[in-house]
Copies of this chain bind each other. A is one copy, B any other.
Amino acid sequence: MHLTRDKPTESDRLWRVGELAAATGLTVRALHHYDEIGLLKPSAHTGVGHRRYTGADVRRLHQIRALVGFGLSLAEVGAVLDGPPTDPRDLIQRQLAQVEQRIAAAYRLRHNLVDLLRALPDEGEPAAPTLIELIEVMTEMEQALTPQQFAELAEHRRRLVESLSQEELAEMAETRRRLTEQLTPAELAEMRRRRAALLPRRE
């Protein structure tokens, strides 16, 4: 038999597992894992059991990585790809809510980190105990506290502020002013709310 065939195109070619790993940035082990759990089984094998991925396999892998990039677990990805067609809007809405929370949390963390960094002297002693105390106070402010913890924290904070020099206090205030300018109105309102709950009344 002497078949006349077109030269194989790019989408016809079979991929070795190492080639696919290199092309996608995954590891060979990850592809083995997808095979093990049935998420991506190569459509072909050589005589000695080497995996050969088809163009369809490659496209499925792209879909898998896209959905993983959207924050789904591998089990969820499998359900989306192989399960009954589900309303994509539900999925996207859930992922959107998750990513909004991640963004908000990351901003609070960045704010704390920047504040902390500016409050530290540029050089000299590491001042590790002060670092720990600052971290402690700033992070506690983000969490829900029991009444006892509120009282302890307020006292802790008072002692901390007393221990700082006038220069350090002035620097922290300036830092806070500069950073406050970068906050959104919603973030400012949230900060004021937290501060009102934390500090004693003045008037």
Contact = CB atoms under 8 A, between A and B. Distances in A.
A127 B88 contact: yes
Contacts of A87: 126
B96 A135 contact: no
Interface stretch (A32-40, A46-54, A111-119, A163-171): A111-119
A131 B140 CA distance: 42
Interface residues of A, number: 54
A186 interface: no
What is the count of identical protomers in the complex?
2
A140 B107 CA distance: 26
A67 interface: yes
A30 to B, nearest CB: 15
A184 interface: no
